[in-house]
Structure 1
Amino acid sequence: MNHSDQEPAAPESLTPGSPLASPLSPHTTPDWIRLQKALSVEADRGFNDVEGKQHRFSEFISLTLSQAPVALPAIDQQRWQELGSKFTTYAELTFSQRQHLVADTRRFLHQVRQTWEEQGKGERGEGRGVGESASTVPAKTPKTTPLVDASRPVALDQAVTYLAGIGPKNAEKLAKLGLITVRDVLFYYPRDHLDYARQVKIRDLTEGETVTLVGTVKRCTCFSSPRNTKLTILELIVRDHTGQIKLGRFFAGSRYSSRGWQEQQKRQYPPGATIAASGLVKKSKFGMTLDNPEIEVLQQSGDAIDSLTVGRVVPIYPLTEGVGADLVRRAVIAALPAVKQLQEALPETLREQYGLVEIQEAIAHIHFPPDSTTLDAARRRLVFDEFFYLQLGLLKRRQTQRQIQASAVIAPTGQLIEQFYDILPFQMTNAQQRVINDILNDLQKPSPMNRLVQGDVGSGKTVVAVVALLAAIQSGYQTAMMAPTEVLAEQHYRKLVGWFNLLHLPVELLTGSTKVAKRRIIHAQLETGELPLLVGTHALIQDTVNFQRLGLVAIDEQHRFGVQQRARLQQKGEHPHVLTMTATPIPRTLALTLHGDLDVSQIDELPPGRKAIQTTMLTGKERMQAYDLIRREIAQGRQVYVVLPLVEESEKLDLKSAIDEHRELQENVFPEFTVGLLHGRMTSAEKDDAITRFRDNETQILVSTTVVEVGVDVPNATVMLIEHADRFGLSQLHQLRGRVGRGGSQSFCLLMSSSKTEAARQRLKVLEQSQDGFFISEMDMRFRGPGAVLGTRQSGLPDFALASLVEDQDVLELARQAAETVMAKDETLSRWTLMQQELDYRYRRLMGGAILT
């Protein structure tokens, strides 16, 4: 089975369920592949100290490096063991320290391995013929050749040390960026480009443009700043036939303040010399100038500009402390000849169909394109590759899932489902019925269902899930529903108990607050099979929870769980059907990226009778209008939410806190009403009490943090007042707004914001104008980016080097289409060996083990 067909591969020793290899004997050959793979996986997964079944990553590395192979030189043995000891304190290191330690270790192992392999088997006494002794093996003469042979191109898998002009010290610096091999350098894409290729005359300079001009030096001065002796200023007066301009460059550091260096600069740009200067045009008190320009001396005005930075499109690379832009550019230039060794993995017909340049051309031109058109073509090809291999991997995962035999084949009809329809006091919407049909069709198939149901707040996802649960129960299976918080789990339990009591079916709730005696009863009922449905939080995945015959798992707000948590619940049965739900509408591009291996259904219709929630933006001056509305609604027997972003006041942020606001509202603003308080730092019992009192209308106003975002269902609440609304994302504001408008009365959402920025006002206007969760999440992604929409890094969003889910949506759609075409022609990829190899490599690195399902 290929790695792309399953969770991205960790080293065997780090894969859950695999035994950890014994530490290396000092007399054995190191397992280079396992060591490098372990380090690579740790880097790909965010330096989180990946956990295997028996050992964490740091334990595995420290054990493996505890004894150095005796064949290594003494200095390398010492370094080997030093690195091993550093991993014993890995848990205490900062993110940056972990990053550097892993990079240093990868670089060291790469160099040691090359030395080891160059020595050859004969020198270590391995592989000798019968009767050969050590003395009969000719000794190798020591190498006297230079480290870099300019006549031989470097190989893709060689260390960056072997690049011309780099060497060991610079290689150490590049390792901080994760650049260990020549391939790493080639695929280290610029984060931006400056286009200096446009050459203009001095009189045509326009502020804000990036240009190149060619002129003659009229005067050059170089001196230390009178205000700061460590700052040196180089000033040039340059003219062409259209005018003249004053250019300045600044050099910080005492080494530039020496008289000799300054005189050297003046000699470099003598009066009459022809220069080319590139930079951003800005206004100064002397007129137009170039901001800290790049300058090159030409022989004469008609000469070609032969420079890495002047008169061309210049790459700007992501950097880190101690690694300069010039060093990265130098490494890229030295590595570029190796581009010819890259093999084209995409078939020619596919490249022609989607208008893609070849990989060699794309890599060369993403670094140093001759013009912006070539850059666009290179970037499009590389973005396509990122999306294509992700989609191909997701489709192969789905294919593999469909080959698994489901342990439960469930009948789509039966008495329980009919009885449930009879007791419902409302008719299902067309959208709900469509999604139910999708689910029931899945449950009859021989492979396990893996379906995501997306639906706005209040669209009726729970009712849809109940039909699926009842289908499994009437076929003789047990079921489980997992929610991310106790509040939401209890909400589901309360709703399900009402229905299941009428159907004479038992249902239990298991959370962290469940008493020990009750837990024992629930565990026993699960093992005998007499409990058909268990609702709960993370408590469901504890080792003591054992189902007799688990057939279906429903997971609500699934993006709030980690990958391993969802997997552990599925492991409670033998390939049970999985139904995941989310009330956080996800834009199509995000859904394709995260859930490309899932079947997705949308409930895109609200139940009849629901009124649109009237949403209004207010400033601090309009606060009394909000309070007047609250009084009117409470006078009619309604209730109100007041939501704040903080529990307690922050010294750094000038924001109201929930605790302070509760006190202010109760004592000064609404003393005639009862004001409740709810926040995440309260105990479960305190939260339950606050929610129950609000649900029973004992408190008319509930002041809360975002803990009410999911799970609190009070149809009588008609006003949602959100303080500091500009501090929330649009998707989160839409979720909060969904807490009201759940009854038949007109509801209101008031967005209080003191922000004066136009961007903040534009974001909030989206909520004023739309009730469509999918449109709102799309806009949220454009404003804040995909990671912010999902809320957490553990959501499984892959790290793209170039691709943007906001700007490259059209390329993603094409890549998905191409991947589907390829899979339809040959789902094994056996006819495209290079494509399969590239998929294995890219998919593993791109997803970093964080794939959702």
Structure 2
Amino acid sequence: MIADPSPSPPAVDWVRLQKALSIEAERGFNDLEGQQQRFSDFLNTSLRQGLHASIALSGRDQERWQSLAEQFGRYDDLSFAQRQHLVADTRRFLHQMQQSVEALPLMAAAAAGHYEAAGSRPPSAKSARPPKTTDLAGSAATESPQGLDQPLTYLKGIGPKNRDRLAKLGILTLQDALFYYPRDYIDYARQVKIRNLVPGETVTVVATVKCCNCFNSHRNSKLTIFELLVFDSTARLKVSRFFAGTRFRNRGWQERQKRLYPPGCVVAVSGLVKQTKYGINLDNPDIEVLGSDADSIESLTVGRVVPVYPLTEGVGADLVRRAIVAALPSAAQLRDPLPKALRQQYELVDLPVAIAHIHFPPDSESLSVARRRLVFDEFFYLQLGLLRRRRQQQAEQTQIQMAPTGALIEEFYQMLPFQLTGAQQRVVQDILHDLQRPTPMNRLVQGDVGSGKTVVAVVGILAAIQAGYQAALMAPTEVLAEQHYRKLVNWFNLLHLPVELLTGSTKAAKRRNIHAELATGELPVLVGTHALIEDPVQFSRLGLVTIDEQHRFGVAQRARLQQKGDNPHVLTLTATPIPRTLALTLHGDLDVSQIDELPPGRKAIQTTLLSSRDRTHAYDLIRREVAQGRQVYIVLPLVDESEKLDLRSAIEEHQRLQATIFPEFKVGLLHGRMSSADKDAAITKFRDRQTHILVSTTVVEVGVDIPNATVMLIEHAERFGLSQLHQLRGRVGRGGSQSFCLLMNSTRSEPAIQRLRVLEQSQDGFFIAEMDLRFRGPGQVLGTRQSGLPDFALASLVEDQDVLELARTAAEQMIQQDDSLDGWPLLKAELDRRYQKLMGGAILT
């Protein structure tokens, strides 16, 4: 019989292919022999025939299909790990292809030959169910769930108790497990001989057991010691494990351990190589018994790259790893929200592949590619959310519009004893331009210490007042609020404008008076701390909100102040220079202006790093400066003497300096635990030169402006961040005299000394902030969890700056095409889920 010269191509038998892959994984990736074909031959043939089947594949998918077929053609040459990942990748790919094909006949023949691995038979068409999914190590899981929101109890081995344990880590569903990323990896994939073991490396040794022993420690009644003596063709090695707990003292348990490793059996041992006084050892190793030297390793930890997950009390690493491995086949159900064109443009691997390889990477390159995709996602959805919010803000309308000029502003300019710098003039124009627009201003002004941000803000406040509106200025501390209030009083008295201060220390009668004047509109400007957001504070016509050092306020606190008015303009100030990566992450929805120029006449502060043996020189400099009529700050990290830390405290140091070091001078004290009245008294005495030296904690970091102070001595400088030290240094050098910053260092740590030397070399706050970010990370640079910094699972603002820039560009591209994102419903849904989660449940204001 002559065959039809143009037969119709056979349809793809998805179920049968998945069944074959499942059995291969269950039996250890050994290329099982079926009744008619080997596993690899069956897959190679079926995939090649399936490529010509009547299914609509994109060019990229056809290339992937062809590549998989070719890899099964050389299956014999692949290592265990490569086979493992090839099978897992093929299962995910086939699942994706099946999802994209409609009305495929389930049981049509995929190949001329029939493949039956280990006597297994395909399910009948009537009873066809989803095949069993298998984890990457070959252990079978339960049948595939229909959705990623399935609870973890759907997985094999995850009962109610384990479910409750995993819930402590926030792992409640299959999707939670897939997106619970490792924090690190241990590479046990490198197999070496015993003679070649090098301390500090993580390796796997395949060796033969000579003897095994398990016994109770003579020194610790609760410790049980397990010892295994193994050897290979090069040397011997003693392997030890330690078990703490009374249950391990049971002789029956110990004998069972010994029976697991009889003399002559072959084992694979993975661990960190350590040098001890007894010789080379593997630290707390993982051990698997093999049938022979040539056997494949099936353990989840032995002989492979092992993911290390964040844990908590009561949740072991094995449980987390087991749950994630069991959930991994469900990654095939993930629908990639990123448009295909965007993934191709930015060379991003598909999401299911990235998820699989971030947990169990076949090699370092696959891990790098997977991590890049997932880091991109974290940055991209944040930037997309910030940009969409910015568009929404720009679409909002406000009735609060203000003229860029007027009598008050002109009178203020004439009253100032100095000219605004070019940078200040540029920023003022940005602000006044925003205030004229029908959309609310949302602008951040960044400026180094002493650059004149307050003057710029005052111009905006005067624009609001002359337009008939009220203004609020909120600062994070009473010291800073009082400093702003004092400046505004000096200027506004000359302009015949009332201004009041509201803090937690304001008396009740005064507070009631302020509330009344605000409500009637008699009071145009109110300066204060968090007290401004309390319920009794009601403005008549709030037009401008100014927030200083805004990263020190919580998201909700900033929002509550804005809600005191009807879509008021918002101006935020910060003297903490923020690197671009941090600014994009924190303030991606804001317009940003920079005052990058200091007022003329300022001299660079001479900064010197000192050790304790240089203390005499520091005190001599202080005496010389005070003798010339100057004043000095001495800053310490603690208020009271600490029993745990050998640090000088502010109270103890104040007493010592006044009594024994500088008895001829007046030494004042300032710290955060003092009452507001005492703080104000201490600062006033220092300002009025009644005290020559002010011993303080970091309460003087911002807001204390004493032009006559020329020396800043910082004790235990290594305990401060660079940005904070730069802020403290900015308390001097505010007059025309040469000023000095002395960094007293009490550590011999070379990294700490190198970090402090950055301040000796630079006065540029942005450079210093960038270096601080690299040394300490973003959380410590900002100094508070209230900063609104997103909680990334993988992304690092230090290591992944290039990916952040790409993600920002991609997000801008998407918003420009369609700011509603209606054309990408999957992307829009994922944005809503991720953006809220990234921002801790609150959107940045």
Per the TM superposition, whether the score is higher than 0.5 is: yes
Instruction: Find the aligned partners of 1:251 and 1:544 in 2 and give their Cα distance.
Output: 62
The answer for the alignment partner of 2:559 in structure 1 is 567
The answer to whether the Cα contact below 8 Å between 2:145 and 2:154 also exists between their aligned partners in 1 is: no
Instruction: Find the aligned partners of 1:566 and 1:268 in 2 and give their Cα distance.
Output: 63
Instruction: Find the aligned partners of 1:547 and 1:324 in 2 and give their Cα distance.
Output: 55
- Residue 841 of structure 1: SS of its match in structure 2? helix
The answer to whether the Cα contact below 8 Å between 2:612 and 2:746 also exists between their aligned partners in 1 is: yes
Instruction: Find the aligned partners of 2:536 and 2:160 in 1 and give their Cα distance.
Output: 54
Counterparts in 2 of 1:247-286, with a 5 A limit? 247-286=239-278
The answer to whether the Cα contact below 8 Å between 2:836 and 2:843 also exists between their aligned partners in 1 is: no
Q: CA deviation at 1:525?
A: 3.5
The answer for the alignment partner of 1:468 in structure 2 is 460
Q: CA deviation at 1:520?
A: 4.4
Instruction: Find the aligned partners of 1:295 and 1:264 in 2 and give their Cα distance.
Output: 15
Cα deviation digits, residues 92-126 of structure 1 (max 9, x gap) = xxxxxxxxxxxxxxxxxxxxxxxxxxxxxxxxxxx
The answer to whether the Cα contact below 8 Å between 1:797 and 1:850 also exists between their aligned partners in 2 is: no
Counterparts in 2 of 1:253-402, with a 5 A limit? 253-402=245-394
Instruction: Find the aligned partners of 2:245 and 2:478 in 1 and give their Cα distance.
Output: 58
Counterparts in 2 of 1:737-752, with a 5 A limit? 737-752=729-744
Q: CA deviation at 1:517?
A: 4.5
Q: CA deviation at 1:635?
A: 0.7
Q: RMSD of aligned C-alpha atoms? A: 2.0
Counterparts in 2 of 1:116-131, with a 5 A limit? none
Letter of the aligned partner of 2:683 in structure 1?
I
The answer to whether the Cα contact below 8 Å between 1:794 and 1:850 also exists between their aligned partners in 2 is: no
Cα deviation digits, residues 617-653 of structure 1 (max 9, x gap) = 2222221111100000001100011111122212222
Instruction: Find the aligned partners of 1:825 and 1:717 in 2 and give their Cα distance.
Output: 55
Letter of the aligned partner of 2:173 in structure 1?
T
1:507 aligns with 2:515: no
The answer for the alignment partner of 1:133 in structure 2 is none
The answer to whether the Cα contact below 8 Å between 1:414 and 1:471 also exists between their aligned partners in 2 is: yes
The answer for the alignment partner of 2:187 in structure 1 is 195
Change in 2 beyond 3 A, CA 1:267/1:545: closer
Instruction: Find the aligned partners of 1:519 and 1:622 in 2 and give their Cα distance.
Output: 50
1:612 aligns with 2:604: yes
The answer for the alignment partner of 2:170 in structure 1 is 178
Gaps of 5+ in 2: 1-139
Q: CA deviation at 1:286?
A: 4.3
The answer to whether the Cα contact below 8 Å between 1:312 and 1:371 also exists between their aligned partners in 2 is: no
The answer for the alignment partner of 1:535 in structure 2 is 527
Instruction: Find the aligned partners of 2:664 and 2:260 in 1 and give their Cα distance.
Output: 82
Instruction: Find the aligned partners of 1:681 and 1:231 in 2 and give their Cα distance.
Output: 48
1:231 aligns with 2:252: no
- Residue 142 of structure 2: SS of its match in structure 1? coil
The answer to whether the Cα contact below 8 Å between 1:644 and 1:724 also exists between their aligned partners in 2 is: yes
The answer for the alignment partner of 1:598 in structure 2 is 590
The answer for the alignment partner of 2:60 in structure 1 is none
The answer to whether the Cα contact below 8 Å between 2:144 and 2:330 also exists between their aligned partners in 1 is: no
The answer for the alignment partner of 1:768 in structure 2 is 760
TM-score, normalisation: structure 1? 0.80
Q: CA deviation at 1:708?
A: 1.0
The answer for the alignment partner of 2:778 in structure 1 is 786
Q: CA deviation at 1:701?
A: 0.6
Letter of the aligned partner of 2:764 in structure 1?
D
Q: CA deviation at 1:354?
A: 1.6
Q: Bigger shift: 440-449 or 488-497?
A: 488-497
Change in 2 beyond 3 A, CA 1:262/1:544: closer
The answer for the alignment partner of 2:126 in structure 1 is none
Counterparts in 2 of 1:641-680, with a 5 A limit? 641-680=633-672
Change in 2 beyond 3 A, CA 1:316/1:301: same
Instruction: Find the aligned partners of 1:622 and 1:808 in 2 and give their Cα distance.
Output: 41
Instruction: Find the aligned partners of 1:509 and 1:848 in 2 and give their Cα distance.
Output: 32
Q: Which among 689, 692, 707 is matched to residue 700 of structure 1? A: 692
The answer to whether the Cα contact below 8 Å between 2:286 and 2:302 also exists between their aligned partners in 1 is: yes
Aligned length: 706
The answer for the alignment partner of 1:812 in structure 2 is 804
The answer for the alignment partner of 1:840 in structure 2 is 832
Change in 2 beyond 3 A, CA 1:154/1:201: farther
Gaps of 5+ in 1: 1-147
Instruction: Find the aligned partners of 1:386 and 1:809 in 2 and give their Cα distance.
Output: 13
Change in 2 beyond 3 A, CA 1:234/1:582: same
1:220 aligns with 2:224: no
The answer to whether the Cα contact below 8 Å between 1:197 and 1:312 also exists between their aligned partners in 2 is: yes
- Residue 404 of structure 2: SS of its match in structure 1? coil
Change in 2 beyond 3 A, CA 1:527/1:226: closer
The answer for the alignment partner of 2:198 in structure 1 is 206
Letter of the aligned partner of 1:780 in structure 2?
D
The answer for the alignment partner of 2:818 in structure 1 is 826
1:628 aligns with 2:642: no
Cα deviation digits, residues 328-355 of structure 1 (max 9, x gap) = 1111122122112111100111111222
> Which protein is bigger by CA-based radius of gyration?
2
The answer for the alignment partner of 1:730 in structure 2 is 722
Letter of the aligned partner of 2:525 in structure 1?
L
The answer for the alignment partner of 1:440 in structure 2 is 432
Q: CA deviation at 1:535?
A: 2.0
1:802 aligns with 2:802: no
Cα deviation digits, residues 307-327 of structure 1 (max 9, x gap) = 210111111112222221111
The answer to whether the Cα contact below 8 Å between 1:407 and 1:551 also exists between their aligned partners in 2 is: no
Instruction: Find the aligned partners of 2:551 and 2:367 in 1 and give their Cα distance.
Output: 36
Q: Which among 142, 147, 150 is matched to residue 150 of structure 1? A: 142
- Residue 775 of structure 1: SS of its match in structure 2? helix
Q: CA deviation at 1:229?
A: 4.6
TM-score, normalisation: structure 2? 0.81
Instruction: Find the aligned partners of 1:326 and 1:565 in 2 and give their Cα distance.
Output: 42
Instruction: Find the aligned partners of 2:143 and 2:713 in 1 and give their Cα distance.
Output: 72
Instruction: Find the aligned partners of 1:437 and 1:340 in 2 and give their Cα distance.
Output: 54
Q: CA deviation at 1:261?
A: 3.4
Q: Bigger shift: 519-528 or 826-835?
A: 519-528
- Residue 150 of structure 1: SS of its match in structure 2? strand
Identity %: 75
Instruction: Find the aligned partners of 1:690 and 1:374 in 2 and give their Cα distance.
Output: 61
